[in-house]
Amino acid sequence: MKQFRPAPGDRRAGIRRGARAGRGLPGSPAARLVAALAALVAGLVVVLVPTVASAAPVCKVDYTVNQWQGGFTASVRLTNLGSAVSSWTLRWTAGASQQITNAWSAQVSQSGTTVTATNASYNGSLATGATADFGFQGTWSGSLTPPSDYYLNGVPCGGTSSPSPSPSPSPSASPSASPSPSPSPSPSPSPSPSPSVSPSASPSPSPSPSPSPSPSTTPSTGCSGSGLVVCSGFEDQSGAPSGEWQVSTPNCSGSGTATIDTSTAHSGGKSLRVNGGGNYCNHMFVGTTKNVSAIGPVVYGRMWVRHTTALPANHVTMITMADSRDGGKDLRIGGQGNALQWNRESDDATLPEQSPAGIALSAPLPTNRWVCLRFQIDTSQQAMRTYLDDQEIAGLRVDGTPTQNVDAQWLRRTTAPRPTTFRLGWESYGSDSDTLWYDDVALGSSPVGC
């Protein structure tokens, strides 16, 4: 019998028909293979779903301004509301007519209307909820508007939202067979590092100067010494200062007052009383009309001071001397960090440096009693010494050799100062006020004692 053999074309068609038929059978090998591959692929699929990362506020800024015509000071308190940081940079936009001239407790720079404040070496570390205070002085015209767009280490203080892709895996059955590769998570955006000095929690001073006794030459007391240009117990004054003592309120005047007091005195029956208000324009100074520029080569000063309020954490000034070698900018004796300090107006250098170790080498100014404050300034070299009740204050000594936490910052300027004026009073760059008295004031070219 003849067997029937399909034509070649029919053979191929039969195979295709069988394949199609086999795919439709649930138990066929082809169906099982397709199902396994589908499960494996489903386990590997990661879908990038655009989500909105809603960031919580990272900081709060309290900005307090004190202004006068053409000038202003600002006190800034930065509160860290986010994770702890070891350094910080705060950036904001200033008004078009504002120009910052100097700052304290932070490095502040300005480019156009963009202002950047970077922590000092001692206040960069901020735990959650911790604060840092700094301030600055500047000029303005037109209108003075406070900033509102603060950025901490590149992140908006208000924690505004920004879209960011994040992997969102589809639900799938756990793949069997060979393990599937895990999708790489997209990196979380992190603030760009800020250029700042790395702070140290408790800096240890380099060899610090130990307190030294007063100069070997026995200083004169009262007004008996030679070379005295200024020597006054205000006994020839009454009412408002006049004659050899003149009231001075640079740039602006406010609530500060100065009077000759007959109820409180160190010796005799009179003293100079200054009621100094908080904020810059409420300052008050009384300056001598004597020729201070004739004193040298070392300027020796002494005064008895009585304070009502302890020196604050913020920067304040009690005594100023214009320096003719520094564009007439002031040398200042005052306080910061609750202790005595020298400050240079031109570059805001401080003596000692405002680090925890530096402040520890200074001393607070006692309140509600008379204390003797003495200083000496060498006009031929960078050398200064300061005494409180005849004890030298180690942190207020400049000896020409930079000492960490003491005078390293001060000695960045190599030119010795040349004082040409001498004023007593009170000036606050924050909101701190004080009532204080001065008596038995002397200034000359020979050592003068208490």
Rounded distance between C-alpha atoms, residue 243 and residue 290, angstroms: 10
CB 77 within 8 A of CB 87: no
Q: In the prediction, which pLDDT does 156 show?
A: 94
Mean pLDDT of the chain: 80
Distances (CA, A) of 441 to 222, 259, 268, 374: 9, 16, 13, 10
What does the pLDDT read at residue 218?
A: 52
Considering the chain, what percentage of its residues have pLDDT values greater than 70? Answer: 73
Query: How far apart are alpha carbons 22 and 10 in whole angstroms?
Result: 18
Predicted pLDDT of residue 28: 58
Q: What is the spatial distance between Cα 68 and Cα 52, in angstroms, rounded to a whole number?
A: 45
**H-helix or E-strand spanning residue 210:** none
CA distance 421 to 141: 30
Q: Which residues contact 449 (CB under 8 A, 6 or more apart)?
A: 214, 218, 219, 220, 221, 302, 374, 390
Question: Is the confidence at residue 35, as pLDDT, over 80?
Answer: no
Confidence tier at 339 by pLDDT (50, 70, 90): very high
Token pair for 255: 């609530």
Of 316, 335, 340, 334, the closest CA to residue 431 belongs to: 316
- With vertex at residue 92, the alpha carbon angle to CA 57 and CA 153, rounded to the nearest 5 degrees, is 55
Summarize pLDDT for 187-198 with one digit per residue, the tens: 333 333 333 333
Cα–Cα distance for residue pair 133/88, rounded to 1 Å:
12
Q: b/e map of 261-283 (b: 16 or more CB within 10 Å)?
A: beeebbeeebbbbbbbbbbbbbb
Helices (H), 24-165: 29-44
Distances (CA, A) of 276 to 34, 148, 249, 253, 335: 88, 31, 11, 11, 14
Per-residue model confidence as pLDDT tens digits over 163-180: 333 333 333 333 333 333
Higher pLDDT, 183 or 27: 27
pLDDT, residue 217, reads 46
pLDDT in tens, 256-288: 999 999 999 999 999 999 999 999 999 999 999
Higher per-residue pLDDT: 164 or 154: 154
Higher pLDDT, 175 or 29: 29
More confident residue, 148 or 152: 152
pLDDT at 411 exceeding the cut of 80? yes
Range with the largest mean pLDDT of 181-190, 195-204, 206-215, 427-436: 427-436
- The number of helices, as runs of H, and strands, as runs of E, in the chain is 3, 26
Q: What separation in angstroms does the CA of 190 have from each of 85, 155, 337?
A: 12, 9, 33
Higher pLDDT, 51 or 254: 254
> What are the tens digits of pLDDT across the range 46-56?
434 344 344 68
Q: How many beta carbons lie within 10 A of that of residue 29, not counting itself?
A: 9
Asked if residues 103 and 116 have their Cβ atoms less than 8 Å apart, the reply is no
The residue assigned the tokens 């001397």 is 321
pLDDT (mean) for 129-149: 87
Which pLDDT belongs to residue 30? 56
For Cα atoms 73, 75, 77, give the angle at the middle one, nearest 5 degrees: 165
pLDDT surpassing 80 at residue 302? yes
pLDDT at 201 over 80: no
Determine the Cα–Cα distance for residues 228 and 295; give it in Å rounded to an integer.
8
Query: CA-based angle 254:256:260, to the nearest 5?
Result: 145
DSSP-assigned letters across all residues of 247-274: EE-SS---S-EEEEESS--SSTT-EEEE
Gap between the Cα atoms of 344 and 329, Å rounded: 8
Nearest CA to 362 out of 150, 151, 208 is that of 208
Q: Which of 35-39, 73-77, 94-98, 300-304 has the lowest mean pLDDT?
A: 35-39
Q: Residue 440 in contact with residue 304, Cβ under 8 Å?
A: yes
pLDDT at 4: 44
Q: What is the pLDDT of residue 344?
A: 97
* Average of per-residue pLDDT across 99-106: 83
Q: How confident is the model at residue 183 (pLDDT cuts 50, 70, 90)?
A: very low
* Among the ranges given (101-105, 174-178, 253-257, 327-331), the one the predictor scored with the smallest mean pLDDT: 174-178
More confident residue, 8 or 125: 125
Instruction: Say how far apart CA 72 and CA 251 lie, in whole Å.
Output: 10
Which has the higher per-residue pLDDT, 104 or 124? 124
Backbone angles phi, psi at 429, to 5 degrees: -100, 10
